[in-house]
Amino acid sequence: MEKSDKIYIAGHRGMVGSAVWRALEAAGYSNLTGRSSSELDLRDARATSAFIADEQPAAIVDAAARVGGILANSRNQYEFLLENLRIQNNLIQAAHEAGVPKFVFLGSSCIYPKMAEQPIREDALLTGPLEPTNEGYALAKIAGVRLIQALRDQYNRDYVSLMPTNLYGPNDNFDLETSHVLPALIRKFHEAKQNDNAPVTLWGSGSPRREFLHVDDLARAVVHALENPLPDHLYNVGTGSDITIKELARTVQRIVGHTGEIRWDTSKPDGTPRKLLDVSHIHALGWKAEIGLEDGIKRAYEWYLENSSSVKPQ
């Protein structure tokens, strides 16, 4: 990659896309381009194909997706499957037909089986049943991984899939109906703190273990993938360490400064019992996460405080 090469970031206004944009700018790339969903509907195959053919980018980073937490995923399986298939299929096909040299497809660790051996290696893909609550989203991302693999094998494309663990950071979604666990915790504890340290009720038992990656670390992995030829089609991206949801809740509570009670609603689902990625594959290529969880949560809470006026009230 040359610093002047045009790079199209799909989903550039979201948490991941905006982090990738910042990381590329910091690395000296000066020809970045993006389109909002109102300017370009990636679910529209013709519009997507025409845009890529006209722009002729040297690389595409696919950070565009319909995403959400356990509640949104479980309630909208049809939409999560269909819309994500359309977005990624249109982008990948348009890139291939236009001869775009490099493509980074971003997915999620939910592509792996619910009961996969821990830590989860890349070769665990399609070896067992998925977590039912987010099966729609996972199936779409699995299809994307297979498309990238097929293009590499059949057409020698320098395309790659990066599967990050649970992400958080600036521009995260703090809507309690659709957010993931960490931003939801930040908001719940902050609002409870403001409400005389009222009790906070959380879903499940708190026993599941989860791995969390700051989005700026993922963005550095994307830059690494663009700048280096990667020998394989699929790489896990994570920290290599995890924490129970109960421990996470206590950490967020302490950072926010909430001193009230935490209550666990065990009538609600826990989801997958553990989801820790084996990141030795990408470590061997020279990338490692740099932002520790406590430091990352502090940064995320600071961002939330600075931007809470724009967060939708519940």
Check the annotation: does 281 bind a ligand.
no
Catalytic residue chosen out of the listed positions 137, 159, 235, 304: 137
Check the annotation: does 217 bind a ligand.
no
d(CA 82, CA 33) in angstroms, rounded, equals 26
Check the annotation: does 190 bind a ligand.
no
Does residue 275 contact residue 120 with C-beta atoms inside 8 Å?
yes
137 is an active site residue: yes
Check the annotation: does 164 bind a ligand.
yes
For residue 242, what are its two tokens? 């995890």
DSSP for residue 116 = P
C-beta atoms surrounding 152 within 10 Å: 19
Check the annotation: does 14 bind a ligand.
yes
Instruction: Return the C-alpha torsion angle 177, 252, 192, 194, nearest 10.
Output: -120
Check the annotation: does 126 bind a ligand.
no
Which long-range contacts link 130-134 to residues 24+ away (Cβ below 8 Å)? 131/271, 131/272, 132/74, 133/70, 133/73, 133/74, 133/269, 133/271, 134/70, 134/73, 134/74, 134/80, 134/110
Does residue 163 contact residue 234 with C-beta atoms inside 8 Å?
yes
Check the annotation: does 270 bind a ligand.
yes
d(CA 235, CA 180) in angstroms, rounded, equals 22
Check the annotation: does 17 bind a ligand.
yes
Check the annotation: does 91 bind a ligand.
no
- Name the 3-class secondary structure at 152: helix
Check the annotation: does 307 bind a ligand.
no
Check the annotation: does 107 bind a ligand.
yes
Q: Is 305 left (phi over 0), alpha (psi -120 to 50) or beta?
A: alpha
Check the annotation: does 252 bind a ligand.
no
Check the annotation: does 273 bind a ligand.
no
d(CA 23, CA 300) in angstroms, rounded, equals 17
Check the annotation: does 311 bind a ligand.
no
Check the annotation: does 46 bind a ligand.
no
Q: Is 311 exposed, middle or buried (0-12, 13-18, 19+ CB in 10 A)?
A: middle
Catalytic residue set? 137
- Residue ranges of the annotated binding site for NADP(+) are 11-17, 106-109, 141, 164-167, 180
- Residue ranges of the annotated binding site for substrate are 188, 203, 210, 270
- Residue ranges of the annotated binding site are 11-17, 106-109, 141, 164-167, 180, 188, 203, 210, 270
